[in-house]
Amino acid sequence: MFNNIKAVIFDLDGTLVDSMWIWESIDIEYLKKHDHELPDHLQKDIEGMSFSETAHYFKESFNLQDSIEDIKAEWYHMAKDYYAHKIPLKNGALDFLKELKEKNIKIGLATSNFKDLAMLSLDKHQVTSYFDTIRTSCEVAKGKPYPDVYLKAAEDLGVDPVHCMAFEDTHAGALAAKRAGMRVIGIQDDLSLEYKSDILEVTEDYILDFANWNRNP
């Protein structure tokens, strides 16, 4: 599994933690407040975007008067309680992190989420110390499917991307890691099942969760 692998880099939402469901709820609530309904294509349109990119998308698509920073701040406050108290780790994630540490494999996080929300979730599950770097798409030029955030995480870890393995639940995320030159493993998440065939095209394996590495769904 880990031949020639010196670092493993995880996406957060839908990959390491079971959180994608809350963002659809937040989008519905947020748009309703601004007199809009959730378009069927929205989740796919914004897949992989940084929060700044997503805020720009919302502002332009729904003609919002709020500033980009105000939009992001509202989303943050809507999501904060979920990440601090309600979002679970994916099945087997803790044991998998422990296994990586035992093998002296470096661990990184490359997320499109707010860094503060990522830290809230990692702190809640007492796994922050496992990570050697935590990077967000807002810290690089472009979000997923561009490779920037994965390349930045690999640079932080001091590991050539060819020796990195990435775990992703979305097509945009898998493309980002693949374009960075990494080995990519897909992980199942309900909101991405519609695009499983696309994900399979750019990943070398696709797993149910971290406790079922060899049991493809």
171 plus 190 within the same structural domain: yes
Answer whether 144's CB lies under 8 Å from 112's CB: yes
Q: What's the gap between Cα 217 and its chain centre?
A: 20
Give the separation between CA 60 and CA 78, rounded to whole angstroms: 21
Number of folded domains that form the chain: 2
**Assessment of whether the complete model's pTM goes beyond 0.75:** yes
Asked if the structure places residue 212 within a domain, the reply is no
pLDDT tens per residue across span 89-141: 999 999 999 999 999 999 999 999 999 999 999 999 999 999 999 999 999 99
- Give yes or no: residues 42 and 113 share one domain: no
Looking at the DSSP bridge assignments, the partners of residue 118 are: none
Which residue, among 135, 158, 159, has the nearest Cα to 148 in the 3D structure? 135
Q: Is there a single domain that holds both residue 66 and residue 127?
A: no
* pLDDT tens by residue, 148-207: 999 999 999 999 999 999 999 999 999 999 999 999 999 999 989 989 999 999 999 999
Residue 196, domain CATH: 3.40.50.1000
Q: Are residues 132 and 31 in the same domain?
A: no
Residues 122 and 54 placed together within one structural domain of the fold: no
Choosing from 34, 59, 86, the residue where a domain stops is 86
**Is the same domain home to 140 and 203?**
yes
